[in-house]
Amino acid sequence: MNESNGCDIAREKVNLETSQIAWKELQRFFAAGAAVFVASDLDLVDVAYQFSIDNKDQVALWMQSNQVALVSDQQAADWFEADAEVWAVVVKPWILVQE
């Protein structure tokens, strides 16, 4: 298997593990400081893949531009009050969420 094929398989695995879920179901992850917001202009699957391969440089760039950050108290409250559904994917120990 070539490296590109392995990358494609890993991305497909992340894609299959991505789903919509009620924000209220993710409260324990938020309370534990493990819920990570991903801006809507980013591809959630790509971000999750970069987390999964521990690409610290790319993640740091997204964090510097506020495209990736821990879910804020205000975001959590807004989503809770709106009974929002979010896209989510687990990349242990994180759960990445996107509106």
Q: What is the pLDDT of residue 6?
A: 64
Q: What is the pLDDT of residue 7?
A: 74
Q: What is the pLDDT of residue 18?
A: 86
Kindly give the parts of the chain with pLDDT less than 70.
1-6, 9, 15
pLDDT, tens digit, for every residue of 5-31?
A: 667 767 777 767 788 999 999 999 999
- For 17-55, where are the alpha helices, taking DSSP H only? 27-31, 44-52
CA–CA separation, 5 and 25 (whole Å): 34
Output the pTM of the full model: 0.86
Residue type, 67: Q
